[in-house]
Chains A and B, each alone.
Chain A
């Protein structure tokens, strides 16, 4: 079945430094949709960005990610971390074979001054 692997556990950064959260996936289907969701403390997860197109950069709210089918990756990046970026980030996969998404275990990002 489908699977998603993310940077494990906690990532701690100083404000202003770049952010990179890793996401790789496995699926037998050739046209997966990849998603990043963000969940701030005491809130529900919400979509941050999504992509279907190979090698095309997708951007939203200062974050960006590029789907690379050759390496089955969809890493989340931001050039300069802000305190408000502290949250849980989930990478998710929607392949053609399942009508339900597969979520990674999540990465907790803490940005400190």
Chain B
């Protein structure tokens, strides 16, 4: 069975500090991977997606970047956090096929102070 793991579960960081969030998918080969952001009480915002290792497309950057160093790993990062980065970050995967649903990870809750 496939599993999706995100780390850390929660993070409290200072404005201006760096950030790295991670996501791993186990049990699926060559998934599409996605990063979403959700402000507290807000809606899903698709940030990045990747269809293969080393290839990442930006949807909305929000002064963040993403990388896919391995087939099963997706990293979201920034060198300088802003207050506006606070929120809930979700990683998701689906298969490279039409009509398949997305599966979301448990998320990382980020608070920037």
**Beta-carbon nearest neighbor of A101 in chain B:** B102
- Dominant secondary structure at the A interface: strand
A19 located at the interface, meaning its Cβ lies under 8 Å from any Cβ of chain B in the complex? no
Q: In the complex, what residues of A have CB within 8 A of residue B105's CB? A: 44
A47 located at the interface, meaning its Cβ lies under 8 Å from any Cβ of chain B in the complex? yes
Beta-carbon contacts of B22-62 to A below 8 Å, as 1s and 0s?
A: 00000000001010000000011010010100000000000
A46 located at the interface, meaning its Cβ lies under 8 Å from any Cβ of chain B in the complex? yes
Size category of the binding interface on chain B: 10 to 19
CA distance A20 to B91 in the complex (A): 29
The answer to whether residues A35 and B101 also contact, given A44-B107, A99-B32, A106-B44 and a CB cut-off of 8 A, is yes
Interface residues of B in 67-109 (CB under 8 A from A): 90, 94, 96, 98-102, 104-107
Q: In the complex, what residues of B have CB within 8 A of residue A37's CB? A: 102
Interface on A for B, CB 8 Å cutoff? 33, 35, 37, 39, 44-47, 50, 52, 88, 90, 92, 94, 96, 99-101, 103, 105-106
